[in-house]
Structure 1
Amino acid sequence: MNKKKILKIGIVMDPIQLIDIKKDSSFAILLEAQRRHHEIHYMEVNDLYLQKNQAYAKTRLIKIQKKINNHFSFIEEKNISLNQLDVILMRKDPPFNMEFIYVTYILEYAEKEGVLIINKPKSLRDCNEKIFSLLFKKFTPDTLVTRNISQIYNFWKTHKDIIIKPLDNMGGTSVFRIKEDDVNCLVIAEVMTNYEKKYCMIQTYLPSVKDGDKRILIVNGQAIPWCIARIPKKGETRANIAAGGTAKIRKLHKKDWEIANHLSPILKEKGLIFVGLDVIGDKLTEINITSPTCICEIELHTNISISGMLLDYIENQIY
């Protein structure tokens, strides 16, 4: 058997010195890439640029290790054309703003020259993590996307218990629950819409969140049979780990499989290779495509290597 080629793998991510290596999915992916002896080129958003119709970046070759507070070292820094890389992982966390979109344009220049980009830049732009889920209406809760305060108020009066959240953030940031007797509905709507200048998503509250907000991971159209159920802490609506939720591993249930199997071929067709579905009870609430998490939590409790599946896909595409 021929010896496999050492790949040049780029990653665009948030500052690596700030991550929690015990639960950071990007770090887990990089560990697997390094285990396979691939060359890792680390980039942050401000490192990418276009010049003479060519995509470039300041990259730093990086070595990593599972040692807290000593988990990385830079080997070499240089400016390169992105077409020198075999694959680029776009792992920048939200907010999904214009700067994020500009980066996808730059990455698209590299993609046109044959670089594999995960996830596909066009689909990162087209498939907003909140709104994209609404294409699958048989799986989603009753939802309103608006910046009109009267519409929010009427939705609340109809459903009596609702969740309101921004379209461009993550980790439970600025997510509010408005109950039937809440006197703050209008002021929350004013703040969330910035007085009708900003869109947000409003959904019926799902009581089954107390049993967990499930994160289901999909790699190249294949659902991982175990998920992480994020349980809200007492007195908290949000189940996100970043908001204090606790993680419990569970097998996918029948409805989880139905949702995952329905979405998988569509995601794959769109070049969304690594995706996290958020499911509460039997309802799909979000489709995470920018920087899905929970690799570490699932790998810790199973014999499944999600990062290995992703690297297998990358290698099969390039070799």
Structure 2
Amino acid sequence: MHVLFVIDPLPSLKAYKDSSVAMMRALAARGHSLSVAYQGGLYLEEGLVKVVSQAITLVDGADLHDHAWWREREAARETVLSEFDAVLMRKDPPFDMEYVYATHLLEYAQAQGARVFNSGAAIRNHPEKLTITEFAPLTSPTLVTSDMARLRAFHAKHADVIVKPLDGMGGTGIFRLQQTEPNLGAILETLTDNGSRSIMAQRYIPEITQGDKRILLIGGKPVPYALARIPLAGETRGNLAAGGRGVAQALTPRDLEIAEAVAAGVAGRGLLLVGLDVIGDYLTEVNVTSPTCFVEITEQTGFDVAECFAVALEQAVAADPAGDAVGAGVA
């Protein structure tokens, strides 16, 4: 296969721990060709979705802490997106309007025969924080609103809550509001932009001290290990970007119950790879843009997550050789 990664600039990636790089390495090891493109390289001309792409080769034995782990194989070229055997949308948020436009272009490309994973429509239609509302029995009490009075009432009812923006990543903008929070008003005003922007409030889950677990679904099946991202002392955020420490652990029966419920719920929606966030017994997020933690799980358990993904991608492409299923059949 020739696989295109729509991705952030390669020099900006921390290759030694980046899940997209792990995917590339697994695919290259299985004999597949690689190209990369940036979001701005997607364009539509005379009805066809095209891309400016760069074919690359991974350097054998390269130090992944350095930037010389890849090299250009040939000059950049412009082509229709459907020419690639598979297109992986792996650009990190922010999920701004440019990202939304890109999902539309990817969706149009699928109608023209491109095989896109995760599909453009699936990424756009599964906002990572809001999607948990489809699985309310699995979640902690949750409120989504811009109304200050409702947020204050929710806080008064539950006494200890987490509030966060709907478009944040890496733990940015997350606050814990305990019963006697003196800055309650200021925090809510800031996050909601004085009542003009919806945010999410959730009852605080004390088990965060044991880790915010990332559970991966690949091809509708849960990876048998999660990465528990354990917060720094005094922190309420387990995100690795916020200083959390990642500890791989086998899925618990409750983890498996949550993973299987979500997998069944999103089956057939064009989601080959999904990252679930679970704290204690509760689902807190469903990540579909660029789920991570491949490397940490693999290094600590020996379960090769990237290899598992590469096999699932091969199977998904083989199941849709004409590129006309528009992501159907993958969970």
Q: What interval of TM-score do these two structures reach, taking the shorter chain for normalisation?
A: over 0.9
- Given that 2:225 and 2:251 are in contact with CA atoms closer than 8 Å, whether structure 1 keeps it comes out as yes
Q: What letter is aligned with 1:15?
A: P
Q: Indicate the residue corresponding to 2:134 in structure 1.
A: 135
Distance (Å, rounded) in 1 between the aligned partners of 2:51 and 2:189: 41
Match of 1:17 in 2: 11
What's the offset of the Cα at 1:297? Answer: 0.5
Question: What is aligned with 1:98?
Answer: 97
Correspondence for 2:69: 71
**Conserved 8 A contact 1:228-1:247:** yes
Equivalent residue runs for 1:83-232 within 5 Å: 83-232=82-231
Q: Where does 1:53-64 land on structure 2 (aligned, <5 Å)?
A: 53-64=47-58
How far off its partner does 1:207 sit? 0.6
Q: Whole-Å Cα distance in 1 between the matches of residues 312 and 243 of structure 2?
A: 33
State how far apart, in whole Å, the 1-side matches of 2:101 and 2:235 are: 36
Q: 1:113 Cα deviation (Å)?
A: 2.1
Say if 1:267 and 1:273, in contact at 8 Å, map to a contact too: no
CA RMSD of aligned residues (A): 1.2
Q: What letter corresponds to residue 52 of structure 2 in structure 1?
A: K
> Using the alignment, how far apart are the partners of 1:278 and 1:110 within structure 2?
30
Q: Among all aligned residue pairs of Structure 1 and Structure 2, give the percentage whose two residues are the same amino acid.
A: 37
Q: What is the Cα deviation at residue 21 of structure 1?
A: 1.4
Task: Give CA-to-partner distance per residue, 1:71-104, whole Å, 9 cap, x none.
Answer: 2222221111111111100111111121111001
TM-score when scaled to structure 1? 0.95
Residues 261-282 of structure 1 show CA distances to partners (whole Å, capped at 9, x for unaligned) of 1111222321111011100000
CA separation in 1, counterparts of 2:28 and 2:202? 42
Aligned to 1:27: 21
CA deviations on 1:232-270 (whole Å, 9 max, x unpaired) are: 001111000000000111111110011111111222321
Q: Which moved more, 1:17-26 or 1:203-212?
A: 17-26
Separation (CA, whole Å) in 1 of partners of 2:257 and 2:317: 31
Partners of 2:285 and 2:243 in 1: CA distance: 19
Instruction: After superposition, give the CA deviation of every residue in 1:104-129 in whole Å (9 maximum; x if it has no partner).
Output: 11111221122211112111111111
Question: What amino acid maps onto 2:49 in structure 1?
Answer: A
Q: Distance in 2 between matches of 1:254 and 1:83?
A: 41
The corresponding residue for 1:49 is 43
Please give the residue correspondences for 1:262-301 in structure 2 after superposition, counting only pairs within 5 Å: 262-301=261-300
- Asked if structure 1 preserves the Cα contact closer than 8 Å seen for 2:82 and 2:115, the reply is no
Secondary structure at 2:73 match in 1: strand
Please tell me whether the aligned partners of residues 248 and 301 of structure 2 are also in contact (alpha carbons under 8 angstroms): no
Query: Could you tell me how far apart the structure 1 residues matched to 2:72 and 2:179 are?
Result: 54
User: What secondary structure, in the 3-state scheme, does the structure 2 residue paired with 1:136 have?
Assistant: helix
1:255-266 map, 5 Å:
255-266=254-265
Question: Are 1:11 and 1:91, in contact at CA under 8 Å, matched by a contact in 2?
Answer: yes
Give the AA of the match of 1:274: L
In the alignment, is the contact (CA less than 8 A) between 1:215 and 1:278 conserved in 2? yes
SS in 2 for 1:170: coil
2:328 is matched with which residue? Answer: none
Between the aligned partners of 2:145 and 2:261, the Cα distance in structure 1 is 27
Q: Number of residue pairs matched?
A: 313
Distance, in Å, in 1 between the alignment partners of 2:12 and 2:44 is 27
Aligned to 1:3: none
- Rounded to whole Å, the distance in 2 between the matches of 1:294 and 1:162 is 27
Structure 1 residue runs without a partner (length 5+): 1-6
CA distance in 2, matches of 1:185, 1:58: 48
For the residue of structure 2 that corresponds to 1:108, the secondary structure is helix
Normalising by structure 2, what TM-score? 0.92
